[in-house]
Amino acid sequence: MKPEKTRILSRFYLFSIPLLCAGLAIWLHMVYISVFRGDSYRKMAESRVIKHAIVPANRGNIYTEGGDLMAVTLAEYDIRIDLKAVPKDIFDRNYKALADSLATLPHSQPAAYYSRLLRINRRKGNRYLLLKRNLTYPDYMRVRAFPILNRGRFKGGMIAVCKRARVNPMGALAARTIGFDDYRGHVGIAGAYGYYLRGRDGRRLEQRIAGGRWKPVGDADKVEPQDGADVVTTIDLDIQNLAHQALLETLQQFRADHGCVVVMEVKTGEVKAIVNLAKGADGSFYEKRNYAVFEASEPGSLFKLVSLMAALEDRVIDTTTQVDTQGGVMRYYDDYIRDTRLGGYGVISAKRVFEVSSNVGMAKLILKSYKDHPEKFVNRLYKWHLNEKLHLAIPGEGKPRIPHPDDPTWSGIALPWMAYGYGLQLTPLQILSFYNAVANNGEMVKPRFVEEILRGRKVEKLFKPEIVNPAICSTETLGKVQDMLKGVFVSGTAKHLRSDSFTMAGKTGTVQVEYWQKGQPLQYRASLCGYFPAENPQYSCIVVVHKPQIGYYGAQVAGPVFKRIAHYCYAHTPKVEPQSHRTAVASRRITEKTFAHLKLVAHLDKMPNVLGAPGMQVVSQLENAGLKVTYRGAGKVVDQHPKAGTPISSHSPIRLRLQS
């Protein structure tokens, strides 16, 4: 019995001890894992169901002065297709129609491309084929109605991926100045005011729930997102659009390389329009770089205002100082200074030199005054801070360069060259702000792009005009240069731009560019900088057209753009009589103008001559007189029946034919 029990026990131990050891080993390993490696595993388990989520802040919008959206964050869609989800008969019947539809979307390939793409990927069994990227909402809605895709996710294989993108709703208008602030860098207003626009992202804990969604849990570790503020720019959309169209048409007409236009409000320095267009690889023009801000280049004749003002302010010349333009050519050291007109202008006054833009005259005037003390001239320019940046809010401003007689590169020709704007560099905005100071009666204000920063409806920051220099020169000098700038449009280089209804003042510039490069035809930069109206200026404006291939004179190429903008601003600014005259003038105007013709017409017994008169006015006047009028067309009256002078009564029919 005993040996039997021992045998059983020994068998029992034989099995149980290894089992126990194995169990113990497993248990020890569990302890080891949970104590020593537990942290990383616990974290791993948690991360599958719990995460620290970033709650993105909404980026602020950028508006025009009038409250139109220039930049906003929107939903954009990538469209993909799961080709295995589409039944064979539906695919075969419809894929060509789908390709045709896809080809109608903006920036699309031809239909043949899509039908090939669909066929090949159908064969490969692609379940995630990209059809179109970055679609706007209206286009996305269209795509949802396309053949095959209109069958939805499961039968049509449509996959739409929604993402957030920064969009400029007004398209190319001021695109480069509005700019962006992302992986590409900080550009334009968006880049400069990124701090306000960005806002601050929030944080919270989230737990995974069914359907791949996440729900917020706990309040402990929570940071609310702070949305970005809105930036209101000084841009006036209508002037911007007009300037854009005008520059675009000019660049196309003269086959230029690039150009820019800036319109600035004289009193405040607010930039109302800023256009920068350059020719792309496909020959169309787009907002490539902010030339107005960064492109420092030789200003040419535009600089004559500065040189002449310096000389006038130093009282070394006067507007009447006579100078011999020497047949239009002057040799100085080894160089020739030439005028545009062969044969020159004879002996003329300094004012005339400016108006006709004589290089020889300008060089001689400045040489005569500063030949022995060039530093006096240059120091005057430095005093006007022309050698310094404007420190614009927008990043990337070009650095101006004005050589000094102490520079090792200074040469004998440097001074006469500077007189007419060569051998130095300024950006279009730097030139404009100087001209603007002349228009603003000597007060120099800094160009400004942003009016205010709004958080909700509350103004967070208001930008006021920044005065750089309260008086750049004496009132006397100012009067003289204003007169000369006016003269350019009356009898100078821009006289053909003159208008009978409104006045302009300014200076044209025709600069040779890349004249140092041999073996290519001479290239030019045409420009015009000035302000309008000449009396009581409201806006200043600069137009620069780089390398036009047909024609090159400033007045001819840049002039029409300047005039169109000046005309627009004139025609859109209501005329208001001075306060004291208001009542008197208004009542006179009403009695004399508004009612006079009505009284006249009320006693009609003979048909008046209405040829050439505005149709709508004539019709209403005749009808007021109790006559029955029929007319055809619109515009001015080109034919009338009965003829003028024919006796008429209240029931004689009158027929008019209008212009079109």
Partner 1 sequence: MSWVSVVKGKFLVDQTAIRNWKFVVFLAILAMVSITASHQVDRRIFQIAELSDEVRELKAAFISIRADLRTSKLEIEVAARVKKVGLKSPSHPPELIYMDESEL
CA–CA distance, 200 with 194 (Å, rounded to integer) = 11
- CA–CA distance, 378 with 358 (Å, rounded to integer): 21
Binding site for partner 1 (CB under 8 A): 68-69, 72, 74-76, 136-138, 141, 162, 167, 169-171, 209-211, 213-215, 237-238, 241-242, 245, 501, 567-568, 570-577, 582-583, 586-587, 589-590, 633-635, 658-660
The string over 10-38, giving b where at least 16 C-beta atoms fall within 10 Å of a residue's C-beta and e elsewhere, is: eeeeeeeeeeeeeeeeeeeeeeeeeeeee
Find the shortest distance in angstroms from Cβ 215 to partner 1.
5
The tokens for 546 are: 């780089």
Between 273 and 363, CB nearer to partner 1: 273
Q: How far is CA 255 from CA 251, 284, 549, in A?
A: 5, 11, 5
Rounded distance between C-alpha atoms, residue 266 and residue 207, angstroms:
58
d(CA 55, CA 646): 83
Closer CB to partner 1, 207 or 379, in the complex: 207
Q: Is 396 left (phi over 0), alpha (psi -120 to 50) or beta?
A: left
Question: Would you say 225 or 465 has its CB closer to partner 1?
Answer: 225
Q: Min. distance of Cβ 76 from partner 1 in angstroms?
A: 8
Q: Nearest-CA neighbor of 504 among 560, 448, 557?
A: 560
Q: Cα-flanking dihedrals φ and ψ of residue 158, to 5°?
A: -75, 130
CA–CA separation, 336 vs 433, rounded Å? 31
CA distances (Å), 629 to each of 142, 416, 600, 656, in order?
Answer: 50, 71, 17, 8
Pick 149 or 363: Cβ nearer partner 1: 149
Residue closer to partner 1 by CB (options 292, 658) is: 658
Smallest distance, Å, CB 74 to partner 1?
A: 5
Answer for the pair 530, 555: CB distance below 8 angstroms, yes or no: no
The CB-of-77 to partner 1 minimum distance in angstroms stands at 9
> Is the Cβ of residue 471 or residue 590 nearer to partner 1 in the bound state?
590
Nearer to partner 1, 371 or 582 (CB): 582
Question: Strand, helix or coil at 296?
Answer: coil
In angstroms, give the least distance from the CB of 586 to partner 1: 5
CA distance 311 to 353: 14
Rounded to a whole number of angstroms, the minimum distance from the CB of residue 201 to partner 1 is: 17
Helical segments of 371-474, H only: 374-383, 414-419, 428-439
Tell me which amino acid residue 339 is.
D
CB of 212 to partner 1, least distance (A): 10
CB of 372 to partner 1, least distance (A): 52
**For partner 1, the closer CB: 72 or 111:** 72
